[in-house]
Amino acid sequence: MAQTAFILVLTEDEPAGQRLRELLREKYGHVCSVVTSLPAALDSIRTRTPDVVLAPAQIGGVPAAAPLAELLDHLARDAALLLRGPAELPPVQHIHPAVLEDTADDDELTRAINAAAKRAVARQEDRRLKESIAGQRFEPFQGIIGVSPAMRRIVERIKKAARNKLTVLILGETGTGKDLIAEAIHKHSDRASRPMKSVNCAGLNENLLESELFGHVRGAFTGAVSDRKGYFVAADGGTLFLDEVGDMPLNMQAKLLRALERREITPVGSTDVRRVDVRVIAATNADLHKLKEDGKFREDLYYRLNQWVIEVPPLRERRDDIPVLADHLRQRANRTHDTACPGISSEAMSYLTRYFWPGNVRELANVIEALVVEAENQQIEADHLPEHIRGSREIVPAAAAGMVGLTMAQVERMMIERTLQATAGNREQAARILGIGTRTLYRKIKEYGL
């Protein structure tokens, strides 16, 4: 938020006005203009709209409050009008008039003016933020919100994926909306009238995952009391979304490859082969290339899934999207909780755009929903934000010149420390950003005493 403002002082005592002008400049950096007549004040407002006008209720026996308020209300809707001495507040629609207690204490007066200036500038920036968001020309694409070049490119790749028949691989961190992308591809494809089924491969052992995907016959294993058709059959003619495919056991990877290449599956415990027509969309937050190099992901399956790749950048790499996303999520939370939160202040939005968002869009959605509930029918202010967001610091890469003379161990310690700070101590997320295993990170933390 800007810290300085333009202040117009209307006074019959020009030396006192000039003294106030110098105090406001020295203490707060505000720009101040001093005039000694009502016509001069009105001309000044028409020439340059002020953030604050300090004026007496009358000057030279002429009422000043109403003419000033009327013109400010028309030209400077975010301005504050401070009236000195007893005065009746004029009726206005936009500006914020107030009566100051008459005081000879310059410090007290400048503090009051500065407080009004900060509020006026905040109102101005809040309005500009709302106008900027409203002016962003974008249409949500199947719930996908974004105005950044990266998101526009992703939408184009989604549309092309919907028109082709290739296997799709969606890469991105947890919480970036990979499931929304898969759903958008299906709904815009020629398979939209057929089912879309989703399976999360994480946390399922080989036997359970095989049954989930290919089905089983009665008696195939303990607990198999009836036949089950599995997701490949359930999605026949449509789309099967395999989330977290990087966590799939190796033996299961071979069976998935065979199903993709032959377009046929065999239920567990059966010898019957069934033909299926399923388009597979896979997603993972893991580095499949590294898993392949480490022998943890089959090379042949990697290339089979890698036909049409969509890489989703983390939210911290597309900060232009945060204001429109946050506003969209605010509106959604209002509908969910029957609240009327009118917006997010520019100061609060500044914190939101600077935060690292280790949980990406999912984390932002959860934060905004909680803020809307807390603020109820008021605007979300910076004070409403959780401490870890207000106190966050951006990772700032050290300049190469500034790293000369450091040992590799010192550089490594610095990057681990900064990444942990940026992820609010989330070690799993920090390990992914640093490109190392979680166990390695834990060992380094202990080694460096972090």
Which 3 state secondary structure label does DSSP give 275? strand
What span, in angstroms and rounded, lies between the C-alpha atoms of 279 and 168? 9
CB–CB of 57/70 below 8 Å?
no
By the 10 Å C-beta count (0-12 exposed, 13-18 middle, 19+ buried), 426 is classed as: middle
Choose which CATH entry (1.10.600.10, 1.10.8.60, 3.75.10.10, 1.10.1030.10) describes domain 315-390.
Answer: 1.10.8.60
Closest CA to 362 of 173, 189, 146: 173
User: What 8-state DSSP symbol labels residue 399?
Assistant: P
> What backbone phi and psi angles, to 5 degrees, belong to 136?
-70, 120
Residue 66: its H or E element: helix 65-75
Task: Give the residue range(s) of CATH 1.10.8.60 domains in the chain.
Answer: 315-390
Helix axis angle for 250-262 and 206-214, nearest 10°, is 20
In angstroms, rounded to a whole number, what is the distance separating the alpha carbons of residues 86 and 80?
17
Question: Please, what's the largest Cα pairwise distance for the chain?
Answer: 104
In 3D, which of 34, 24, 72, 67 has the Cα closest to residue 51? 72
Can you give the pLDDT at residue 400? 46
CATH number of the domain located at residue range(s) 149-311 in this protein: 3.40.50.300
CB-based contact 162:188 (threshold 8 Å): yes
Tokens of residue 88, six digits? 């009746």
In the chain, ranges of CATH 1.10.10.60 domains = 400-448
Residue with tokens 């099967």: 240
d(CA 227, CA 148): 48
What are the two backbone dihedrals, phi and then psi, of residue 311, each rounded to the nearest 5 degrees?
-100, 120
In this structure, the number of other CB atoms found within 10 A of the CB of residue 122 comes to 18
Retrieve residue 440's tokens. Answer: 């390695």
Which pLDDT score is estimated for 403?
53
Domain 6-135 has what CATH class?
alpha beta
Q: Based on the number of CB atoms within 10 Å of its own CB, is 203 exposed (0-12), middle (13-18) or buried (19 or more)? A: exposed
For the segment 227-277, what is each residue's pLDDT rounded down to a tens digit? Answer: 888 999 999 999 999 999 999 999 999 999 999 999 999 998 888 899 999
CB contact at 8 A, 38 and 59: yes
Classified as helix, coil or strand, 74 is helix
CA atoms within 13 A on the CB side of 125: 19
State pTM to two decimals: 0.70
Q: What is the DSSP letter of 91?
A: P
Architecture of domain 400-448: Orthogonal Bundle (1.10)
The segment(s) of the chain belonging to CATH 3.40.50.2300 are 6-135
User: 368 near 333, Cβ under 8 Å?
Assistant: yes
How far apart CA 240 and CA 67 sit, in angstroms, is 69
Structure tokens at 312: 């989703």
Tens-digit pLDDT string for the chain (450 aa): 446 889 999 999 999 999 999 999 999 889 999 999 999 999 999 999 999 999 998 898 888 999 999 999 989 888 999 998 777 787 888 888 888 877 668 888 999 999 999 888 888 888 877 777 766 666 778 889 888 889 999 999 999 999 999 999 999 999 999 999 999 999 999 999 999 999 999 878 888 899 999 998 887 787 777 888 899 999 999 999 999 999 999 999 999 999 999 999 999 888 889 999 999 999 999 999 899 999 999 999 999 999 999 999 999 889 889 999 999 999 999 999 999 999 999 889 989 988 888 889 999 999 999 999 999 889 999 999 998 888 754 444 444 444 555 677 777 887 888 788 777 677 877 887 787 877 788 888 888 777
Number of neighbours of residue 336 by Cβ within 10 angstroms? 11
